[in-house]
Amino acid sequence: MKRPSRAAIVRGILVALVVLPMAALWSALEPNPLVNAPLPASHAYDGQDLLRARKRGGEARAVHLTAGDIEAAVNDLMARKKLDGAIRTDMQGGCLAATVTLRLPYLAGWFLNIRLTVEDGDPLPAVTGLRVGSLPLPPKVVNAFVIHQMEKKGLLPNVPGDQGLILSAHIRDGKLELTFTGESQTAERLRALITEAAGAERIRSYHDRLANALSESNTRHFIRLGILTRALFALAAQRSGITDPAAENRAVILLLAAYVNGYDLMSGSDGDAQPLPVRSVLLQGRQDLGRHFMTSAAFALAGQRTLTDAIGLIKELNDTHSGSGFSFTDLAADRAGTVFGKRATQPQYARRIQGILAASTDDAVFMPNVGDLPERLRGAEFFERFRDVYSPQFERLTQLIDERIDRLSLYTAPDSQAITHKKASPEGLAPGAEKADGT
């Protein structure tokens, strides 16, 4: 029998590389969704158990999540990532079953349906079934991939003697039980990740300036975010004469994001760093908005794995949603913080942003007014006024928020300062448009 030529073998491999992914995609797509779009306010996991898990003097603490908690967290994550999809979960005894539907933007009428089954095991729960459309994936491969990713992100120990963020995980009595390491281990890990991302000398310089700004404040319990940004970005402007301004701004954002979420990164580490006085950092008079803004700003920096790991750790332990319903003010702080983080680390904006923030303590420089936006919308009220996050009413309010952010001169391009914006009506809308309450 004649052996195939090298050219024939190469052609066969190239055909396989094209045909096999297309066949897999075809098997994964289905014409009907298994899960419909969620109502975002019908249930909200507020993350307060995770917050309390690190407030016990460093001791470990277990957190119990219901199927509804998992649904709320995943649906919120998909909304933040602008993914058109939803999840449905069910936990009975030691088994978790989840179904996810994603609507694909460029394949109208086709859906990506994912069916997942996880069963309790020792030492961790294990995937026993995963099907994407009609395409089954081998559980052993899936489990190996999941464990590898959790080790990379510091959730599980990846070297002998190390201790991951998660000490144990089990599915019992219809709940997912997670046991986390205490605050001292979490702070150490976070310190190492941010120091690796921004540089030890740089972080230490901003830590000392932050400590001085807090000590110089006349208030003992609260401080405005604008006061801290002025102090730190003034130092960033000075240092940027001989260093990269984007790198300086990145360090400021990471340090502030950690501080507003309750972490003093440098104090207690090896060295003589002075402790940071404890203050609640306010944005427009509210602590939750400051956390939303700075955490989202830090998330916007996640262009490398160490940054993603660090900010993911902050966010996981410091979800600032109140659990009292859907809030457009929180959404506005998230979106403004994201723009802030992106602009501050772009070369064409970095120096200019330093100069503006170093000259003002006014929060309105970087955060638009959100006092008229609706919040605390529970399920029934949200459904009555907006129906879902894809409705024209919802889109109109998110567009309003983006327009207010875009009108701030801090975020406009350096070469467009001469452009004037059309004056808005008192509600922040163009004449004849709807009010910010969505009515």
Q: Comparing C-alpha atoms, which of 218, 314, 300, 307 is closest to residue 265?
A: 314
β partners of residue 291: none
Token pair in block for residue 138: 């081998």
Q: Comparing C-alpha atoms, which of 184, 61, 80, 65 is closest to residue 118?
A: 65
From first to last of its 439 residues, the chain has per-residue pLDDT tens of: 566 676 766 666 766 666 556 666 667 788 888 888 654 444 444 444 444 444 444 555 677 788 887 887 777 667 766 788 888 999 998 999 999 998 887 777 888 899 999 999 887 899 999 998 888 889 999 999 888 887 776 667 665 555 666 778 899 988 888 886 655 555 666 666 677 677 778 888 999 999 999 999 887 789 999 999 999 999 999 999 888 899 999 999 989 998 998 888 776 555 677 888 889 999 999 988 999 899 888 878 764 334 434 443 444 333 333 345 677 888 889 889 989 998 999 999 999 999 999 999 999 999 999 888 888 776 677 777 877 767 788 888 889 999 999 999 999 877 655 444 443 333 333 333 344 555 4
The pLDDT, as a whole number, for residue 46 is 42
Tell me the three-class secondary structure of 328-380, residue by residue: HHHHHHHHHHHHHHHHHCCHHHHHHHHHHHHCCCCHHHCCCCCCCCCCCECHH
The pLDDT, as a whole number, for residue 50 is 44
CA dihedral angle for residue 147, residue 153, residue 156, residue 160, rounded to 10 degrees: 110
Cα R_g (the chain), whole angstroms:
24
The pLDDT, as a whole number, for residue 130 is 92
The pLDDT, as a whole number, for residue 218 is 82
pTM recorded for the entire structure: 0.59
Token pair in block for residue 403: 């327009």
The pLDDT, as a whole number, for residue 43 is 42
The pLDDT, as a whole number, for residue 416 is 53
The pLDDT, as a whole number, for residue 439 is 44
Tell me the three-class secondary structure of the chain, residue by residue: CCCCCHHHHHHHHHHHHHHHHHHHHHHHEECCCCCCCCCCCCCCCCCHHHHHCCCCCCCCEEEEECHHHHHHHHHHHHHHCCCCEEEEEEEECCEEEEEEEEECCCCCCCEEEEEEEEECCCCCCEEEEEEECCEEECHHHHHHHHHHHHHHCCCCCCCCCCCCCEEEEEEECCEEEEEECCHHHHHHHHHHHHHHHHCHHHHHHHHHHHHHHHHHCCCCCEEEHHHHHHHHHHHHHHHCCCCCHHHHHHHHHHHHHHHHCCCCCCCCCCCCCCCCCCCEEEECCEHHHHHHHHHHHHHCCCCCHHHHHHHHHHHHHCCCCCCCCECHHHHHHHHHHHHHHHHHCCHHHHHHHHHHHHCCCCHHHCCCCCCCCCCCECHHHHHHHHCCCCCHHHHHHHHHHHHHHHHCHHHCCHHHCCCCCCCCCCCCCCCCCCCCCCC
- Backbone φ and ψ for 172, nearest 5 degrees, come out as -140, 135
